[in-house]
Amino acid sequence: MARGDGKLTHDIHPEDKRPQDACGVFGVWASGEEVSKLAYFALYALQHRGQEAAGIAVSDGSSVLVYKDLGLVSQVFDEATLNTLQGHIAVGHTRYSTTGSTTWENAQPTFRTTAAGTGLALGHNGNLVNTVELAEEVAARLGGIGSTSDSDIITALLAARPDVSVEQAALDVLPTLRGAFSLVFMDEHTLYAARDPQGVRPLVLGRLARGWVVTSETAALDIVGASFVREVEPGELLAVDDDGLRSSRFANPDPKGCLFEYVYLARPDTTIAGRSVHAARVEVGRRLAREHPADADLVMPVPESGTPAAIGYAEESGIPYGMGLVKNAYVGRTFIQPSQTIRQLGIRLKLNPLRDVIRGKRLVVVDDSIVRGNTQRALVRMLREAGAIEVHVRISAPPVKWPCFYGIDFASRAELVANGLDVEGVRASIGADSLGYVSLDSLIAASEQPRTRLCRACYDGEYPIPIPEIVGKHVLEGIEKTVVGRAPEQAASYTADDALSRP
């Protein structure tokens, strides 16, 4: 079941996009509940994790029905649509593509008919690093891959085993996957959830009065009225059906949770590994103030992600906190490409200064990251035009110097400004009076997680899961063209050496 014409959306300001979020997943098994509406509101809570597409699959015990489209959750679904999605099991997904193009076919949940004739729908948060190898297995089994997303590759592998149940197929397939995967999937009778052995991306289990919920963030549990039970363990497979909840282990755990979740990806009202994300960000701000003090009149955030750290910086430094920028909450993704005049305005589409607050002040401006530097450069210029005497930029994370292969679409390493310039070079590039990044040690301490249980690769280049030679967001597109017999065009993929090399 689908609607839409497959048009692609455009970033408002694509030449300086921020690190794009991982996807959001949700699954529910509940009797006597409108599960499609629970999924809808949960996806609303997870909208920040993906704005390209949204979808919900439901089962009433006899068939699996999938509805998905490009766009925001509120654009894809209306009440009439949700009322047609009846059942007691649902899987939902908000997508940002880290493997595969932004097309309707790659929206999730993905769907395959199993060899036994049942339906299988799946939502995936993360990114596999052995996709080429897995795609070749699917091609050998099915004669083609039929998709450019690693998520559909997983679905195809689960569906292609004729002599075993979906649960047993999962126990066979999951150990062969390499990379980051937090999965929710379902057939007509059972809800499943699984997390990679490193637990890179978050996944939590919640309890309803008459059912169970699995989802990316605890904030989504709050929205649907579910109580937090625990995190899904790395290397664990959960199954929920009429007999209740059961757990299996498909791999030994080697926890390496994503440190960037604490910086930017997760909602501040989410808890990860027992640590409030908001509290962690405020603590980062306090440590940032100690490491990089400034003689200033006002501490102000770049909303919204810089707000908790700015509060902590103000508390620790004693400098008054204030809102110097107003954010337009309705600027996100759009089908309309901006005109050149509007594009030149750049950041003003999203942020506008409060001149009465800024004029005549020495400012400490707190943000969560600098990627290419274009946004901060425009921001510093805008604040000076609004009357700021000095602009001291403080970043609540270390410099991002390495790409992510586990579910975050950073710029390539050659495009990361901190990779080509030292701190003084970045400061001069963005035009700030001073620049300070929080140290990696302080960020780790604020997370209250042991260093050994965190993936820090984007900051220190230490990848906990080996990266294969061929990687890339569009790597499957070249494979599919070859498999089905068409002349392969230039593949939109790149080698690990390309990705990691210096500019």
For residues 157 and 154, give the distance between their C-alpha atoms in angstroms, rounded to a whole number.
Answer: 5
CATH 3.60.20.10 spans which residues of the chain?
A: 22-127+165-256
For residues 108 and 56, give the distance between their C-alpha atoms in angstroms, rounded to a whole number.
Answer: 8
23 is catalytic: yes
Helix (H) or strand (E) holding 238: strand 236-241
- The pLDDT of residue 339 is 67
| pLDDT, tens only, 393-408 | 999 999 999 989 998 8
Mean of pLDDT values over 105-122: 90
Q: Report pTM.
A: 0.87
Structure tokens at 330: 């309705």
CATH 3.40.50.2020 spans which residues of the chain?
A: 271-447
Instruction: Please give the DSSP secondary-structure letter assigned to residue 503.
Output: -
- The pLDDT of residue 1 is 40
- The pLDDT of residue 346 is 66
Mean of pLDDT values over 453-468: 94
Q: Which of 23, 258, 455, 458 is catalytic?
A: 23
User: Across the chain, what does the average pLDDT equal?
Assistant: 86
CATH topology for the 271-447 domain: Rossmann fold (3.40.50)
**What's the CATH number for 22-127+165-256?**
3.60.20.10
- The pLDDT of residue 92 is 97
Confidence of residue 482 (pLDDT cuts 50, 70, 90): very low
- The pLDDT of residue 284 is 98
Query: Looking at the predicted structure, is the pLDDT value of residue 357 above 50?
Result: yes
Query: Looking at the predicted structure, is the pLDDT value of residue 429 above 90?
Result: yes
Mean of pLDDT values over 124-139: 92
- The pLDDT of residue 503 is 32
Better pLDDT: 419 or 250: 250
- The pLDDT of residue 488 is 29
Percent of the chain with pLDDT over 90: 70
Confidence of residue 36 (pLDDT cuts 50, 70, 90): very high
Q: How many CA atoms lie within 13 A of 205 on its CB side?
A: 21
Alpha-carbon separation of residue 383 from 380, 395, 407 (angstroms): 5, 17, 33
Query: Looking at the predicted structure, is the pLDDT value of residue 289 above 80?
Result: yes
- The pLDDT of residue 16 is 45
Mean of pLDDT values over 80-99: 88
Which residues, at least 6 apart from 320, have a Cβ–Cβ distance to it below 8 Å? 297, 298, 299, 314
**Region class of 361: left (phi > 0), else alpha (psi between -120 and 50), else beta:** beta
The pairing of beta strand 64-70 with beta strand 53-59: antiparallel
Better pLDDT: 143 or 337: 143
Mean of pLDDT values over 472-494: 39
Mean of pLDDT values over 123-136: 93
| pLDDT, tens only, 180-212 | 999 999 999 999 999 999 999 999 999 999 999
